[in-house]
Amino acid sequence: MDVRTPHLHIDRPADLVTAARALADGAIVATAFANFYAIVARPDADTVRRVNLAKGRPADQVGSVTAAGHRIPALFDWSRISPRLPERRVRQLMDALYATGPFGFRGPAADGLPEHLTQHDRGIRTAQVIAPGTVCPSNAFLARAAAEAGVDHLAITSANRSRHLTGVAEEPAHWKADAIAAEFAHLPDLVVVAHRDEASARAAYPAYLPTSVTLLSFHLPEGEWEEPPVLIVERHGSLHVDEVRRAAAPLGLQVRLAPGARQRLRIREYAGALV
| pLDDT for position 248 | 97
The answer to whether residue 186 sits within a structural domain is: yes
Other CB atoms closer than 10 Å to residue 208's CB: what's the count?
23
Closest to 217 measured CA to CA, from 105, 127, 130, 125: 105
Say if 64 falls within a structural domain: yes
Backbone angles phi, psi at 8, to 5 degrees: -75, 165
In a domain, 271, yes or no: no
Confidence (pLDDT) at 166: 58
Q: Is residue 3 part of a domain?
A: no
Burial letters for 41-71: b for 16+ Cβ neighbours within 10 Å, e otherwise?
Answer: bbbbeebbbbbbebbebeeebbbbbbbbbeb
Low-confidence ranges of the chain (pLDDT < 50): 1-4
Q: pLDDT value at position 223?
A: 59
Separation of CA 256 from chain center: 21
Phi, psi at 52, each rounded to 5°: -55, -45
Q: Is residue 68 in a domain?
A: yes
Write down the pLDDT at residue 134: 96
pLDDT at 2: 40
Structural domain of 146:
8-261
Give the amino acid at 61: Q
**266 in any annotated domain:** no
Q: What is the pLDDT of residue 227?
A: 67
Q: pLDDT digit string (tens) for 144-188?
A: 999 999 999 999 999 998 765 655 567 899 999 999 999 999 999
pLDDT for the residue 170: 72
> Would residue 76 count as lying in a domain?
yes
CATH number where 229 lies = 3.90.870.10
pLDDT at 4: 42
Residues in the chain: 275
**DSSP codes joined into one string, the chain:** --TTSSPEETT-HHHHHHHHHHHHTT-EEEEEETTEEEEEE--SHHHHHHHHHHHT--TTPPPEEE--GGGGGGGB-GGGS-TTS-HHHHHHHHHHHHTTS-EEEEEEBPTTS-GGG-EEETTEEEEEEEE--TT-THHHHHHHHHHHHT-S-EEEEESS--HHHH-SS--PPP--HHHHHHHTTT-TTEEEEE-SSHHHHHHT-TTB-SSSPPEEE----GGG--SS-EEEEEE--SB-HHHHHHHHGGGT-EEEE-GGGSSPPPPPP-TT---
Query: How many domains does the chain contain in total?
Result: 1
Q: What's residue 3's pLDDT?
A: 39
- The per-residue pLDDT for 274 is 62
Q: Is residue 2 part of a domain?
A: no
